[in-house]
């Protein structure tokens, strides 16, 4: 199916990414404006480039990096490999890149949690994403979808909340890791509705969904890419999407606002980062190349098929976006009462 991007698509439908999109330039314009600056022959890259993913295979950052990395390899003339370094809610792999040499051969594709939220959640993070990593490009975003097993007696988010209130302690939920948006969204739901459910973290969205299918947990609110295939297979039922308006990619799923919970809106985003010591010219070149890849119709279609919205932009815009996310989310995270030692 062919998607015709709407002018509002870059705003990504939700609070955080609406603000980000206001800062971002269309990828095609950026590539045109900056292409001449890199017309000269450069020694970089001269060998294999590694993109570290702090989550498991099949996770949204993993899928995104493999789609983009395939085209990057062609454009750069060097192999681009994806390496999964799983652990500590995404902190392990993110920290590995934060401490890596900045020669331009190690990059990171990480998410909201390890890049912003965990600076508030963790007493000792082990790295500082704002000083030990430098932004390259805001790659893409996607909504979380709350879902239950198809044979569940729950048919809407309102029913889920009512049943959680009626049966305190009876519910567990899975997430993509401690401090992930898939956890924080549910924690905020619990705060807003006065309900309780036990959090069980997993290393990736496919594993979080598997936990629902196996009956280990009763529900999950994770990226759409992990949920929709199970819905189409008749194994799961969606309850709500975590965006302010219905997504063009999931038009049949009601929003949190439609479910009566307008303050619980969030979108997961993925960004490429590099070690802080990476030279500016390499960061700018990689930014140019990723933006060019994100502008390719075939790449956009692949991302849309995974329920991801391509974004793009400059390193400076990503830096401002991360700082904005920190300002907005810090009080929200503190309201949940979560603190990880």
Per-residue pLDDT of the chain (341 residues; tens, 9 = 90+): 444 444 343 444 444 444 444 444 444 444 444 444 444 445 899 999 999 999 989 888 999 999 999 999 999 999 999 999 998 888 999 999 999 999 999 999 999 999 999 999 998 899 999 999 999 999 998 889 999 999 999 999 999 999 999 999 999 999 988 778 889 889 888 988 899 999 999 988 899 999 999 999 999 999 888 899 999 999 999 999 987 788 778 889 999 888 877 667 778 899 999 999 999 999 999 999 999 999 999 999 999 998 898 999 999 999 999 999 999 889 888 887 888 87
CATH fold of the domain at 23-142+269-336: D-Maltodextrin-Binding Protein; domain 2 (3.40.190)
Looking at residue 220, what is its pLDDT? 97
As a whole number of angstroms, the distance between CA 80 and CA 293 comes to 14
- In degrees, rounded to 5, the angle at the alpha carbon of residue 144 between the alpha carbons of residues 188 and 307 is 165
As a whole number of angstroms, the distance between CA 195 and CA 180 comes to 20
């Amino acid at each position: 199916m062919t998607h015709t991007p709407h002018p509002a698509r870059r705003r990504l439908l939700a609070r955080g990414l609406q603000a980000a999109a206001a800062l971002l330039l269309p990828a095609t314009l950026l590539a045109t404006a900056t292409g001449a600056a890199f017309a000269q022959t450069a020694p970089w890259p001269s060998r294999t480039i590694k993109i570290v993913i702090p989550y498991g295979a099949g996770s949204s950052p993993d899928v995104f990096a493999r789609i983009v990395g395939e085209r990057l390899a062609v454009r750069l003339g060097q192999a681009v490999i994806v390496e999964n370094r799983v652990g500590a809610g995404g902190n392990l792999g993110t920290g590995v890149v934060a401490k890596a040499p900045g020669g331009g051969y190690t990059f990171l594709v990480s998410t909201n949690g390890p890049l912003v939220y965990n600076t508030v959640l963790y007493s000792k993070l082990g790295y500082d994403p704002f000083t030990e990593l430098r932004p390259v490009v805001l790659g893409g975003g996607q909504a979380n979808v709350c879902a239950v097993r198809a044979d569940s007696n729950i048919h809407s988010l309102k029913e889920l909340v009512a049943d959680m209130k009626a049966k305190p302690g009876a519910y567990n939920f899975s997430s993509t890791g401690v401090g992930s948006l898939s956890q924080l969204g549910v924690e905020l739901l619990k705060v807003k509705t006065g309900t309780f459910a036990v959090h069980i973290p997993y290393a990736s969205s496919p594993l979080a969904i598997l936990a629902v299918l196996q009956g280990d947990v009763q529900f999950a609110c994770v990226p759409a890419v992990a949920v929709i295939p199970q819905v189409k297979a008749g194994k799961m039922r969606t309850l709500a999407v975590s965006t302010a308006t219905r997504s063009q990619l999931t038009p049949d799923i009601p929003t949190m606002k439609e479910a009566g919970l307008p303050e619980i809106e969030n979108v997961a985003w993925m960004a490429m980062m590099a070690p802080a010591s990476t030279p500016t010219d390499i960061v700018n070149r990689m930014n140019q190349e990723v933006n060019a890849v994100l502008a390719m119709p075939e790449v956009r279609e692949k991302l849309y098929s995974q329920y991801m919205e391509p974004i793009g932009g400059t390193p400076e815009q990503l830096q401002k976006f991360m700082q904005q996310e920190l300002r907005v989310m810090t009080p929200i995270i503190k309201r949940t009462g979560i603190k990880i030692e």
